[in-house]
Amino acid sequence: DQQVKQNSPSLSVQEGRISILNCDYTNSMFDYFLWYKKYPAEGPTFLISISSIKDKNEDGRFTVFLNKSAKHLSLHIVPSQPGDSAVYFCAASGETGANSKLTFGKGITLSVRP
Amino acid sequence: EAEVAQSPRYKITEKSQAVAFWCDPISGHATLYWYRQILGQGPELLVQFQDESVVDDSQLPKDRFSAERLKGVDSTLKIQPAELGDSAMYLCASSKDGYEQYFGPGTRLTVT
């Protein structure tokens, strides 16, 4: 039973346009959400996070939106750049402190065309 | 910028052999995690340490996998004996406050 779902395996976007990556979750106990970016043969790199008490968090070109009632979050990248081409993982956590286990989705491969 | 260190980066081993991976977390990070990532999937937690204590090892195949963090700093993950199905990326991560986790570059294991 997958608790974090990234239903679209891939996304292709023109450089300069907006990339929207979606993520759904089923566990209502999740209260902290993160996005990671991963290049081949490297470990995931933390991008941005959001707590369940917020509905939006912005960091430069990256914005994460959270809709708790729909159990849905999305990552917006504006403007998209070729260097953004990577696999993006959505992750969720139900607790903080010593029990902060992350549950990951399967990832979305983003390709930004020059 | 401080990083999580892992070694080796790549490991090829024959099935039934023993293999070990090492991780050095970011200085001051009390929580350390080992994840396994199979191609096409997201990382899955194998074991979590808080200082030198195991917090969660419910997904660790204890008949062949072991992990330790003796002094609460660096950590070793061992597989003995390795099986073909263990081929994967093994990722180490650390966290200071239990929120963001920072990952190392991983060890790509191939079992032949």
Closest by Cα among A11, A13, A30, A31 to A21 = A11
Please tell me whether the peptide bond between A79 and the residue prior to it is cis, using omega within 30 degrees of 0: yes
* Residue B98 predicted with pLDDT over 80: no
DSSP strand pairing (B107-111 vs B10-13): parallel
CA distances (Å), origin B105, targets A23, A33, A92, B56, B89? 24, 22, 21, 22, 9
The answer to whether A96 faces chain B, any CB pair under 8 Å, is yes
**Confidence grade of residue B97 (pLDDT, cut at 50, 70, 90):** confident
What is the per-residue pLDDT across B4-60, written as a single tens digit (0 to 9) for each? 999 999 999 999 999 999 999 999 999 999 999 998 899 999 999 999 999 899 999
| Token pair recorded at residue A7 | 């239903």
* Residue B108 predicted with pLDDT over 70: yes
CA distances (Å), origin B46, targets A18, A19, B89, B108? 36, 32, 12, 16
pLDDT (average), residues B91-104: 90
* Residue B99 predicted with pLDDT over 90: no
The answer to whether A3 faces chain B, any CB pair under 8 Å, is no
Q: Using an 8 Å CB-CB cutoff, list chain A residues near B50.
A: 98
Q: What is the mean pLDDT of each run of 10 residues along chain A (114 residues)?
A: 90 97 93 93 92 94 97 97 97 70 94 96
pLDDT at A71: 96
pLDDT at A99: 59
pLDDT at B53: 92
- Nearest chain B residue (CA) to A90: B42
Contact between B67 and B75 under an 8 Å Cβ cutoff? The reply is yes
pLDDT at B70: 85
DSSP strand pairing (B88-95 vs A86-93): unpaired
A92–chain B nearest CA distance, Å: 10
- Nearest chain A residue (CA) to B108: A41
